[in-house]
Amino acid sequence: MKKIEEVYGKAYLFVDVRSPKEFAEDHIPRAVNIPLFSNEERAIVGTLYKQVGKDVAINKGLEIVGHKLPEMIQEYQEYKEKKIVVYCWRGGMRSGSVVSLLKSLEFDVVQLEKGYKDYRRFVREELDRVPIPPLVILYALTGSGKTEMLQQLENSIDLEGLAQHRGSIFGDVGLKPRTQKMFDSLLLQRLYEIQEEDHVFIEGESRKIGNTMIPLRLWNMMQKATKVKVLCPTEQRVERLYKEYCHSLDVPLLVQKIHYIEQHLGKKKAEDLIEMLEAGKVKEVIQIILLEYYDTLYKHTVDSKEYSFEVHTVKELESCFA
């Protein structure tokens, strides 16, 4: 067995043998999911364990796995030359049985001690102690291209990208938001990647991005960071949002979102926007929401900061910190 501290960030391939549902909620970044049980099979075995007993559940598990063993072994053959760490929920029978099988086939494989449960303990602790370089925080009105800038910079943390949420009422349109646990996992991975940088660029956010929370330690550092204001004309902001949100237009979803902000816009304005949207006047709708909702909501906050620099492009931004 190996502890997570011994293998995290090292040249190992992590194989997660938990069910697809467990894997989707959170997993070690870059891990491969080769589940012993499907979601439905896991539910069956778990029910037997609780209602009938351990031995019956084990026998059912063996029966299920036995049918798919040749296919599973074939899947592992792709990784025969890798150093493999296998894990399940808490380092028990699921990962232990796979490790025994792979060792018999002469794979270079170990079991993760205490499994995913201990990995979560590690993530929580590391987020409180991993070195974080000085931060440069970008503020701007909605649609000004802060995320685009961050994606062009190697020394950056794209919090919205990690959360798969843009942090507003329309922030999940076209995206599949991640869980808090998955956000934490990806954030820790990114912090490991950038810890040797002289400084790191990050976007100004509220602490909550969709349903995920920025860890308190990082959030506190963001409040003390060097601040940069990104400037962008309204027309460019509208175009950017149109491309970002409307590449596959989901009118019913956007109508639902407009209803959410009706109290800010007024009922008549919301009705007019829905009518315009259904008539295909999408850019006009975006501009009105941008100016009469987003800017009204955030302009005071953006303008109230004291900035070290104001920039229009990523090139200007880099030159400020060259």
Rounded to whole angstroms, the Cα distance separating 211 from 179 reads 8
Rounded to whole angstroms, the Cα distance separating 166 from 135 reads 20
**Token pair listed for 120:** 């979560």
Q: Which of 88, 232, 246, 320 is catalytic?
A: 88
Secondary structure (3-state) at 311: strand
DSSP 179: P
Handedness of CA 133, 136, 139, 143 (dihedral sign): negative
* Burial tier of 143 (Cβ tally within 10 Å: 0-12, 13-18, 19+): buried
Rounded to whole angstroms, the Cα distance separating 74 from 194 reads 37
**Token pair listed for 75:** 């899947």
In the annotation, is 88 catalytic?
yes
Cβ–Cβ contacts within 10 Å for residue 236, how many?
13
Handedness of CA 210, 158, 125, 93 (dihedral sign): positive
Rounded to whole angstroms, the Cα distance separating 146 from 231 reads 10
Q: Which amino acid is at 135?
A: L
Phi-psi region of 143 (alpha: psi -120 to 50; beta: other; left: phi over 0): left
Measured CA angle at 232 (ends 162, 234), to 5 deg? 105
Name the residues annotated as catalytic: 88
